[in-house]
Structure 1
């Protein structure tokens, strides 16, 4: 298990660099007059390229997420209710506080549908950042952040399924349920059943990526570990960077940047990621510790603020929710600017706080 965790952390660190590179390319592409939006709108069969990435390829990403959640619940950090309680409480705090701050700042105005954007933690960027810091961050703190991110993913999946579904078809949903039962009954046929399940979920009105999570949770642990081992590099180094390439491009010309900087939506997202995650995770964790909880072995309390700030790097899932929340391109662009700014600020604050904590330890 320890070896699997270390391998997972290494891949997430490298994936973070790949996502960063794809983001830079997307921004250059979108601002170089090369018709970024036109390319991703190209029709290819029943979907355009953008939807092939967001609906189909991202289902593989969520399949890996589902497999990781299943492994942690059955044979990992979330197996014991006692050890799972603290990161679960921290993650809930890190979801609720950004929502409260976002709603308070946005009011009842334009952009309210994006209330969930600031809830997410990007596991690749966040874990990658603390891994790059090396032994300045304790192993316990890394495990704590990873566990928070996993619980955060569970909450994000529920939010997407419940609040961002449109025109749900009971018939297709029934077909998806039948296919899910068949997958549980015959996991050896998981590939054709997973494809059929994706089609049924897509047609049901629930976002098709949820099919990936369902498959991950239904596969037996032994088979799931084999599938995860094979798919995780593809998810980390192909799927998620492609998602960043297809979604991170914002053309800052034509007043887009100035409009975003004057938009209440942008600053509500920044505040949710930076302030909401920091206060929510730190506050919930401290409350749980006073109630008798305990930090993971080796983690110092002085590292808590740095870990909480780092969790404000929302990026991948935040971008994903922004695309689901808005049809208005101007709102999507403002949301992306807020996600970029909030994630960068959170990352800087996290590094500084963890560096200060490390210095205090060595003095």
Structure 2
């Protein structure tokens, strides 16, 4: 399978970014649970413009992350894995299963309770961590599996964005929403007029973000909308979309996501933290990510192939798909993001974060070990049929 230079850049930046993300998470947890706890937490509570630093990271900088996700999704739709209906359906249907089954498991345990809003927490896959885990397997990983996981994770994130827009919006300020959408419409007109300069799009994006922020819908949605307003052209290295996407890879991977991890893993781990894992909410998150993700991704993919809706790439087998399904349980960034929208109670937020981190570690290790065995057998000449 031919892989574009931009995809390779994306894969390698996400891989390295995942390593940095992991280090930041450990660093933040250690500081939060040390004698430096008050000083460290105060950094994120320091107010700028009437809001704490954590707020600007989650509602401001993360919009840039969603802009990058939107640009990658746009590329996949126009010229990538999602440009061919037959090829696109496999990761799309897999992602659907990877969202519905985990959410269903959580809801089974929490439906009708104060924590039922947490059903969206185990739905998403963390692109950076998942690709970082896959990259540890080296050159044994087929290109088609990298593309499948990337497309799956991007679609997963789009699903999470839609869930945020429709299910985690309390009340709408219609005037602000209409202004934001009007700005989006104006940017689309600029696109149709073949305006290629990035400045008016970025300026319009800031205005759209401001009014979206005050509309009741989470401001990060403006990042995705902006991505689809930016001209794609033919997608070559001179296109506006390509230039912006290439410039955003490293700042997002090495600055924005690490800052998000540092700001949102200030979790004091109590002595009875294990008891918190036995609550219905924590169990729903753990089961959703560790069990629901691989089952949903594998089962929906298998059914899609059996019903002839899509086909498995020739160099992959169902063990590979199940392994990617396990890696899909690394929910970290998006799961924590949804947690902050789902709950207001600090106790629920902290126990959810602990469950997310434990589940993500389990999924990362489990997926790595599973795929390592699969590829090791292939290397030594295993004669077992692929399908």
TM more than 0.5: yes
Matched, 1:280 2:296: yes
1:215 to 215, 226, 230: 226
Whether the 8 Å CA contact 2:86–2:311 is kept in 1: the answer is no
Matched, 1:78 2:82: yes
Q: CA deviation at 1:106?
A: 2.2
Matched, 1:129 2:145: no
Higher helix share: 1
Q: Tell me the distance in 2 between the aligned counterparts of 1:141 and 1:182.
A: 38
User: How many residue pairs end up in the alignment?
Assistant: 362
Q: Tell me the distance in 1 between the aligned counterparts of 2:87 and 2:321.
A: 17
Range moving further from structure 2, 131-140 or 143-152: 131-140
Whether the 8 Å CA contact 1:141–1:300 is kept in 2: the answer is no
Q: Tell me the distance in 2 between the aligned counterparts of 1:359 and 1:50.
A: 43
Matched residue SS, 1:249: coil
- 1:24 is matched with which residue? 26
Q: CA deviation at 1:180?
A: 0.5
Whether the 8 Å CA contact 1:139–1:299 is kept in 2: the answer is no
Range moving further from structure 2, 298-307 or 149-158: 298-307
Q: CA deviation at 1:39?
A: 2.7
Q: Tell me the distance in 2 between the aligned counterparts of 1:38 and 1:109.
A: 33
1:266 to 271, 282, 292: 282
Gap change, CA 1:297 and 1:7, over 3 Å in 2: farther
Gaps of 5+ in 2: 192-196, 233-238, 383-387
Range moving further from structure 2, 114-123 or 213-222: 213-222
Task: Give the structure-1-normalised TM-score.
Answer: 0.96
- 2:72 is matched with which residue? 68
- 2:209 is matched with which residue? 198
Whether the 8 Å CA contact 2:231–2:241 is kept in 1: the answer is yes
Matched, 1:341 2:358: yes
Deviations 1:127-172 (A, max 9, x none): 1111121133222212111111111111111111111113211100
Deviations 1:330-355 (A, max 9, x none): 00011001101111111121112112
Matched, 1:42 2:46: yes
Deviations 1:256-307 (A, max 9, x none): 6144223221111000001100100010011111112211342222212111
Q: CA deviation at 1:74?
A: 1.0
Matched, 1:152 2:163: no
Q: CA RMSD in A?
A: 1.4
Deviations 1:161-206 (A, max 9, x none): 1111132111001100111011122353112111100001001011
- 2:374 is matched with which residue? 357
- 1:59 is matched with which residue? 63
Whether the 8 Å CA contact 1:23–1:244 is kept in 2: the answer is yes
Whether the 8 Å CA contact 1:101–1:268 is kept in 2: the answer is yes
Whether the 8 Å CA contact 1:260–1:333 is kept in 2: the answer is no
- 2:235 is matched with which residue? none
2:102 to 91, 94, 98: 98
Q: Tell me the distance in 2 between the aligned counterparts of 1:283 and 1:258.
A: 31
2:117 to 99, 108, 113: 113
Gaps of 5+ in 1: none
- 2:178 is matched with which residue? 174
1:240 to 257, 261, 276: 257
Range moving further from structure 2, 240-249 or 109-118: 109-118
Task: Give the structure-2-normalised TM-score.
Answer: 0.90
Q: Tell me the distance in 1 between the aligned counterparts of 2:258 and 2:137.
A: 22
